[in-house]
Structure 1
């Protein structure tokens, strides 16, 4: 019996212990809930709107609870101290600061290069594009090749038309971020890049570099068919599509005619709107470039200078005509047989037109081999596409088609004229007929007097003959040690000629 009572008492004590532990757990949980409710109540007090202050006394700022203060940390703002641009990460800010300091820590390891870049990615792209790589990425749509995968990805937007970058002001879209950045400057109107030769200003450095080429006569983009040179890549593409592929992609909405190019100039014949006025004399012009050239009359500015006699001119076209006096070049030849045998030619197109009208009674200066006359060169080129007798007539007439050189014949004549004048005496130049004869003939006579080899074979084009004679002239006049250095460096005739002229 005692054992049973002990068991009952022990069970009662265990139940009491269990109930006590349960109650303690409940009280703890209730306390937690109560604390949570207090915290929530405090947080609600912070969030709720302040009551209206009828007494017009200053309102006291509500204080945030201690727990909220512990959790919230002030965010670090990565802001450029120079241009106030904000970045997400500190590393992005460091890369951005290199733009202001012009720091370029990444140098190209290739021999004879040494170019430096601000970012490692730019160095990688430079090595792949300039020095070559084993991996080449092909476009499946047009077959173009790219040394960098990123360039292929951007190129594909040409086919898809995807333009993810949008201007917030005019809603214009762009395929690349750099294009959008350049476009945004046009809205600000700030043009911080100024030309050193004229008063022109540009919002983009790339546009200034293209503009400077017109002053320096640097035509880097050369047609592989006719060797005509251009300042811009898009101008070369337009030339090939218009004149060699005969594509008429421009439509005039007024007269419904199709044109290969120069549509804005054609539309001015319908409108003849002149919106650019000179502040000095009030003259009106349809193009701003015409106004800039006109203003040089008042300012006396002459940004174009002859490399031979250093005379200055206000316009590039006037300089071009002036250089022909030194080189003796006469590109406008009479197409009729009796005059072509006598080598009748002119330095300007108006002179040829006057000759055709007064001597031959013809107001169209361009003639095809089929004896058909045309008013413009474009009309002759369009006719030659369907005329069987005019095969390669334009190329033969231009005398600019040659395969082994990338320098236009006009520039080659200018270079050799500068060189001959520098190394020859005044009496010798007079004997050779300098500035009175074509420089090609003066070069041939100089080689013959020295007993050197002369190329006059008609199997070569005019440009090819000139190049071969220049090569012989350089072998004769340049010291053997210097010539050996040029040949060891695999310099072309054009490169040697340019280097010699630049060094004078």
Structure 2
């Protein structure tokens, strides 16, 4: 009799069927277990947390989440798994086996659920919908994460600082702020990053890739945020305002700089003479009075100047340009202060 029962695994015979849905099984006990999907019966519960299961094997596997037991190890790399099917799936990372292929495009997958999810990119099927807003998803995990935008649930918390996250991957990424781990490194310069997106952005400094172009002037940018900031030069948008006087600015650093006109703060001081400045650029310019640096040379005679405006004024001695003229008599001058002195000869 037992031999006849065992033969069913070879010949595919399934003499026992579910009275509710008609699904067929090779063994009577399989029908009993299947019936629990209809009745909702879960007779096997965890003695630690009370979670209930319809199948004894599932309850035993669940216990390993408490005990940490991982009885199935990889023969190649030694990685241990708590479930036999996890170990089988892991082996495919070594063998490269992908037994599940897409009937439409032929793309192959290591796991059946991956193939099923992929098929939805062709069919457009989204079987998982939000009970609150009705938004549909192709994956159950996406629907579950979306629900947290409504419930505010954040089940994944940082063991170091306690910060909570709705998504496990976000919690894992956050941990790098504590550990300093940077698993993504540039193959060109070896610079390391904590996040893949940062590495992707960094690579553009090597490739020169600029995918974001301004529809108004055609200027191109490597990053979307650079383009968004640039667009303010066209729209005139000034989203950052001073809390004291209400003056608006296009960039946050301009607000911070403006605030110094109210506070009188001068955070940049000269280490030589102690003179303080509100801007770092002003300090750098001032330092030339100590170092004697003159980075602006005349293209004609080579004479050097500490400040750009001095070089500009000097060039007029070569070009003969006199951009400042008297509005009364029309006499022209090379320097603005010369024109102002002359104007007084008319008003005196």
* TM-score of the pair, normalised by structure 1: 0.33
**Higher normalized contact order (CA 8 Å, seq sep 6+, divided by chain length):** 1
* TM-score of the pair, normalised by structure 2: 0.46
Higher strand share: 2
